Every structure is written in C-alpha cells, then in structure tokens.
Structure 1
C-alpha cells in the first residue's frame, strides 16, 4: 500500500488538520486501476491521533493486497462531535473530509454500499455516530466502543475532568446533550436501519456493560447487529486481532496473505 500523510486546511475548523491514507499499490492488488475503489474510515480513540492505527496495529500488513482505501483522520480528543467549546469535529469529518478526499483521490468511491467506518473506544462511538447521523456508511464497526454512559460516569474513571466533559458534550451526566454517547440509542430510532453493525467488546473491559446495553438496544430497534464478546481488556492486543475480523466482515475482496497450515 502507498502511505500518504496529508495536511489540509479545514474551512469548517479554520485550522490545519492531518489525515493518513493507505492507497492500493499496483502489483499487489488485482484491480489497481479501478475507478470505484471501496473506502474504510478508521477512527482512533482518546489519546490517539491519525497515525495511531499505523503505529499500534497490523493494518498495513493486513490490507497490502486488498483493493481498499483506508482513511485515518485526526479528531484530537473531540469525540467526533461538534463540541460545546466551538470546534465542529463532526462537520469537519462527516461532511467536509469526504469532499476533500474526493478531490485528492477521484478514484475513491462515492457509493454508500462501498463506504465503511470503524473505530475503537472513543472512535467506536464516533463510527456509529457518523453512520447513524449521515447516509454515507453502509457498514459500521465498533471495537470496545464508548457506546453509552449508562451505569458509567467517565469523570470517575480518570478519563478527564468535569470541565473537559462539559466542554465536549454539555451536561453529559444529565443526559441533556444530543451528542452524549447515551443518546446514540435515541438517534438510532430515526436513522436508516439499513446500516449493518459489528460490535465487539472484551469481557474484562470497563465498557462491557455499555456495549451489552447498546448492542441489545440496536437489535431491539431492528438493526442488523453482529455483537461479539470474548475474554479481553481495553488494549491494543485485542483490537489488533479484531481488525482482521472486521476486514473479513466487510463486503470487500479481502486478500489476506496466505499462511502455512
């Protein structure tokens, strides 16, 4: 895969943003001149950035023979929402970034059925939020996602102080902010139920309760949800293994390198 690091001016944010892009190489994929290449948006978690998936996972090795564009944007710790403190990350990533990338990569698909999104932890919330609130993504996956704050107060988990959470979401614990992760369930009630979901969480992860609640809520609303749990913590060892599962789940010709039996 060709790796491109792009810095571009975001009119929405009024600042420069960065994005990493993996693009199929000639000689490694079967259709290098395809003019409708599928695209996967891959979102980082809290404390991460646009390079985190590249540094801490097997991503590049996994997709090196697959005709797939992988886009890794940077949202800082902004939760992929239009924050209360003034930075509209949701608009920048859900609306502006796809248009920017289409100018850079005209062979990147603009079809919903070939556009996918995945994220971990904060990015798991972001992936489902962007999929539910736009009509852009047909498949959305969350790994150890912060999908609800039901029975969980983030202020007690050393994940930021009250000022940070209020600045991001508003009155987060009072459920008054429409951006609150718990509000994903309300958002899903009116969203396009054609979006297919894959949700995974480790059984020892502090977010397992939130994932149990969210996955069942989505199923009750009629979504096609593949919910999986297994022994695991909130760690990259497990997310790296799940990345291969997600790539196999997507409707792409995933060309994993052959292994000796």
Structure 2
C-alpha cells in the first residue's frame, strides 16, 4: 500500500511482473498514478449551490448528448450524469461551482477542465487533491469529466471509427452542456495528470484556441518516440482493451498516431500557454514513500521524464514559449502532481481571467 501525501488511503498498485509493470505504468493511456486514493466523497452539502432540482429542460449538446441527472455532492460541488451518443452510454462529470454562481444567471464564468489519469475516474481530482479549496478562492468553474481508460481520443477502431469518441465527448458534448446549462464561458484552461496530461496537451493542439492554457503533469508528450508505441499498447492491453483499437497499428497507421501526438502537433500549440512537468531519476521525491528501486512508479517516471525532454526540445526548436519543470526525483504519483498543480494554478487562473474572491 502506498500512502498519498499522508492524507488518504490508497488502492494497491498494479500487480504485474517487474518487466510488465515497468512498461505498463508508463502510462498515459493506462496508469493514472501508482496507488490511487480510495473513494472519497466531497464534503456533505450545506446550503447547496443549486437552488432546487435539475433544471426542467437542460439544453442538450449538438450531438444530442443530454444531462439526465444532477446530484449535489458538496457545498458547491455537483455530479451530473450525461447520456452521450459519442460514447454510446451514460457517464458522470463532477463540477465545482464558484461562490457567486446562480442557476439561470446570464453571467458566464471562466472554466478549468481537469482530466484524470488511467485506471481512475471523474472523482480523481477531488479525491486525491485539495482542488475544491484551490477553486473556492477564485470565480472559476472546474469541470472534471469521466475519461475512463479512453486515452483521450476518438478511437480508430481499425479505420471504422465509431464509439467510443472520448475527444468529442470532452471537447464538444461536455463543453456545450457546461456552456448551455451552467454558465461556462469561452475562457478555458486544461490540466491533467498522466494520460490526462497528455489529453490536455493533445486537445489544445488539435483544437487551437479551445484552451488559453494547457498543463500536463507526467503525461506522455511524444507518443511516437522510440519504444513508446509498444509501451502504450502494452499498457492498454493490460487494461483489458484491444491495444490497436485506440490509435491504430503503429507504423501502419502512423498518420493517425501523429495526428494525436503533442510532439508532432507542437506547431499548433503556438499561442497557448504551456506547462509540463515530470521526474527523471527514478528515485523517490518529496512526499513519496520509501519503496524498492524497481517500484513501477519510479521506473515509469524515468521514461515519462525522457519523453517530456523530447517535447521540450521540440518546443525550443520551434521557439514556442513554455514553462517546464523537469524536476528529477519523484514517483509517478500524486505527491509530485499535487505540488506541480499548486505551482501552475495561478498561471491557469490568470490565463482565463479568473479573479480571486
């Protein structure tokens, strides 16, 4: 068992052989963090932010995606259930609302999208961090959508397309539902850990202008670097998925891989604020437990760090501004991600004009 910042109990890490685990934890498409906190509900609701039940007729998204349920889970936190044609099923999204939010208001608020890592869910950020307290200090809406182990992509499915379309769900359906029913504005930023970090950066590149700022915490930002396709596919196979269904067969479907690779898409990130961070040494960092040198959370972060260095080099070649923290010691886990998220939080808020309250 691995403690998380000494605060919350954790689930057991992946039980794989050393060779398999070291590869699979690499990531992004499959491991959100080594040791994920046990389920933790948001604080009990006091005087709730939502005046009454779900709005009589929530406005649907262009695809027909619609909100079918709404539940207060905290003083200013609400979970909604979305029936999504892009996914072919219903999933949840957690929303943190600012103190001055009122249903039916004509006002709009800046929005931060927080994407979780693999083997986790939409409760990840509130369960593993103090994001509720961070958000409460600003007039910002925080949206934490379900991402499952979808790798933040519309799946290739051997060229047939079809469901699941996670990118469409996040960038169109969830966005439109937030804007049409909760007052989310056009000033947006994104942050994610592990595969969620790769997703934040990929979405920013694939949809220039969608986000003012994108932050990746230990995300794979160069998908096609040597050995990485095999490791990503191995990770997804370990999650019980067809590893070729997501982006296609490496090399044979290289164009589709490149179309989702932040490294290849780097020129499209010009004009977006960028932050990325990762460890490099394979040694425990501040807040990490004392674990064996072959711990998969340590070994995987070596590969992530090297990958982030490649992305950094590419941005340097293109003369695209960024802020990077390649910090050396640190495990692929929440102690480092919490620290990095707190560091970049002011920049995220500034980029979308979120004011302190």
1:117 alignment partner, one of 178, 181, 190: 190
Q: What is the aligned partner in structure 1 of residue 308 from structure 2?
A: 211
Distance 1:57 1:173 in 2: 38
2:266 to 170, 181, 188: 188
Distance 2:309 2:260 in 1: 13
**1:174 Cα deviation from its structure 2 partner:** 5.9
Establish whether residue 11 from structure 1 lines up as the match of residue 85 from structure 2: yes
> Is residue 117 of structure 2 the alignment partner of residue 41 of structure 1?
no
Residue of structure 1 in register with 2:246 after alignment: 168
Alpha-carbon separation, structure 1, partners of 2:166 and 2:134: 29
Whether the 8 Å CA contact 1:147–1:182 is kept in 2: the answer is no
Unpaired runs of at least 5, structure 2 = 1-74, 158-162, 283-300
Deviations 1:94-121 (A, max 9, x none): 1221111112212x212xxx21011111
How large is the RMSD of aligned CA atoms in angstroms? 2.5
Q: Deviations over 1:26-74 (max 9, x none)?
A: 4xx9xxx892311100001111110011101111122222111110011
Q: Please say if residues 259 and 265 of structure 2, whose CA atoms lie closer than 8 Å, have aligned partners that are also in contact.
A: no
TM-superposed deviation, 1:253: 5.0
| Partner Cα distance (1:175, 1:143) in 2 | 27
Asked if structure 1 preserves the Cα contact closer than 8 Å seen for 2:112 and 2:189, the reply is: yes
User: Against the structure 1 CA distance between its residues 217 and 40, is the aligned structure 2 distance closer, same or farther, given a 3 Å change threshold?
Assistant: same
Q: Report if aligned partners of 1:172, 1:180 keep a CA contact under 8 Å in 2.
A: no
The one of 21, 29, 37 aligned to 2:95? 21
Q: Secondary structure of the residue that 2:222 maps to in structure 1?
A: coil
In 2: Cα distance, 1:153 partner to 1:253 partner = 37
Higher-Rg member (1/2) = 2
Greater shift after overlay, 44-53 or 8-17? 8-17
Larger mean Cα displacement after TM superposition, 3-12 or 161-170: 161-170
Show the counterpart of 2:211: 137
Q: Larger % of helix: which?
A: 1
Distance verdict in 2 for CA 1:226–1:245, change over 3 Å: same
Q: Retained in 2: the 8 A contact 1:42–1:73? A: yes
> 1:59–1:243: 8 Å Cα contact kept in structure 2?
no
Shift, 1:179, TM fit: 3.7
Q: What TM-score, normalized to structure 2? A: 0.63
Aligned residues: 246
Give the structure 1 partner of residue 335 of structure 2.
237
